[in-house]
Structure 1
């Protein structure tokens, strides 16, 4: 008897929970419009859905002191160096009209990933004129942009080949590999 009551109670509970989800029941399935492809995917998409060779390039730009992921469509996957150069070049005219900027203007960076690794090493030139007020957001832009790629999981900054202590989103300095989570407080709400 108890098992029968338990099954009845479980069935009733399932009915109540499914009715309480806030979505009305529908008689027929609805067509879902899915995104063109994942932002970091390099795999081919279904034939005819987008121009041949078109891939996404994610750049993390700045609006009101917060990181904003911007997606550009490019004809081929960018090299790490080209990706960073596009970030340093800053927003396009249309992106600037949308209020986007960069904290990286006039910054010189060289980037690479050692063979068999997913840790990008970013060499920062020694041409900075002291501390910058936007230093944290500048490093955050680089980490956010590079870790948006499928071939990069973390970023280490170096100067003359030595690990450089850079500010994280919480203001602490780190010489360790950085990930986007280290700058979560700087991400603009989606």
Structure 2
């Protein structure tokens, strides 16, 4: 009688710990399919857009929403290169899908701050941009840069002095910002 519960306990333990994958002592390479992250799995999408080596996020604007898109490149861009891409705006294909930028023509310069924070030196965000909602412009910069693994927060300066900028809720702050400060503005791609 005592053997049945013991046997059931041993059998249950063996079944729960055996996932079907053999144990390995050394790591081994895994071959993943090479296609753009935003492409569907069909071969037509893969053939029309050759894959790069790395993916990076840009946050563009559609209407009154921020939209995160993924671009591929041969090498991961620096913070400044990614900001320059953001200011340059959407590609032709991205524009056709209704994407734009609130930063057109603006000159922004990034510099490292303590820790993994970035300080962005900017002129008036809405000067010459043709947009009245500067929240989208600040949100674009913050959401783009904090999507990087090496950036945790973004602060803004003008002429070297800390700048108070609006969060998504319209409240001005001089504190470092994160994507979570603009999450209510994020829309679907």
Is TM (by shorter chain) over 0.5?
A: yes
C-alpha RMSD of the superposition: 2.6
Aligned residues: 146
Distance of 2:60 and 2:52 partners within structure 1: 25
Give the drift of 1:129: 4.2
Distance of 1:164 and 1:130 partners within structure 2: 19
Would you say 1:54 and 2:53 are equivalent positions?
A: yes
Superposed counterparts of 1:120-135, under 5 Å = 120-125=118-123, 129=127, 133-135=132-134
Q: TM-score, normalised by structure 1?
A: 0.69
Aligned twin of 1:158: 157
Does the aligned pair in 1 maintain the 2:59–2:143 contact within 8 Å? Answer: yes
Aligned twin of 1:147: 146
Distance of 1:152 and 1:95 partners within structure 2: 25
| Structure 1: 5+ residue stretches without partners | 1-28, 30-44
Does the aligned pair in 1 maintain the 2:52–2:72 contact within 8 Å? Answer: no
Aligned twin of 1:118: 116
Aligned twin of 1:170: 169
Would you say 1:79 and 2:78 are equivalent positions?
A: yes
Aligned twin of 1:181: 180
**In the superposition, relative to structure 1, how do residues 142 and 53 fare at CA in structure 2: closer, same or farther (>3 Å)?**
same
Give the drift of 1:113: 1.5
Aligned twin of 2:13: none
